[in-house]
Structure 1
Amino acid sequence: MATVNPWKRFIGLLPGGYRTVGEVISVDAAAGTSVVELRTGTRVLARGTSVAAGQNAFLVDGQVTGPAPDLPQYDFEV
């Protein structure tokens, strides 16, 4: 049964999952994985080899989905 709550309907439209950007440190084509360094300095092992080492990549739920532009990051505290 579908809900009539407008907030829950809106949330249902949004894509789920964890999305971030990081720099690809190394690519292991044999294993199909890449080591990606996030902007926080944390390194993660991600599935996918579509982005070369030294370039930025989009990560969605631990998978490299494609190249990301090299843009500056600004942090604001409210």
Structure 2
Amino acid sequence: MATTNIWQQFKSLLPEGARTVVTITSNNGDGTSSATLRDGTSITVQGETVVPGNMALIENRVVKAKVPRLSAYGVEV
């Protein structure tokens, strides 16, 4: 049965879980990798598909894909 609640319809368009870009620092050899967030925090993620030194997209602490290293700019409004 389709919902008529507009909020629920909107939420169904959005992906579940948090997506974050990290720098892979090492592959641990046990199916996990060590990664660094943009703020310098170190975390452990599942997956060893990205070579250390490269950027990766993670979703719910699982490596999803290698991503290119792009410039970041901050704009104050």
- TM-score (norm: length of structure 2): 0.88
> What are the within-5 Å matches in structure 2 for residues 1-78 of structure 1?
2-29=2-29, 31-76=30-75
Q: Give the number of equivalent residue pairs.
A: 77
| Identity score, percent | 40
- Deviating more after overlay: 43-52 vs 5-14: 5-14
Give the secondary structure class of the aligned counterpart of 2:27. Answer: strand
- TM-score (norm: length of structure 1): 0.87
Counterparts of 2:66 and 2:25, CA distance in 1: 13
Counterpart AA for 1:52: V
Gaps of 5+ in 2: none
Counterparts of 1:13 and 1:77, CA distance in 2: 30
Counterparts of 1:76 and 1:53, CA distance in 2: 30
CA-based RMSD: 1.6
Question: How much has 1:76 moved relative to structure 2?
Answer: 4.5
**Alpha-carbon displacement from aligned partner over 1:4-50 (angstroms, at most 9, x marks no partner):** 12222111121110100011001012x10000101111110000000
Counterparts of 2:2 and 2:14, CA distance in 1: 16
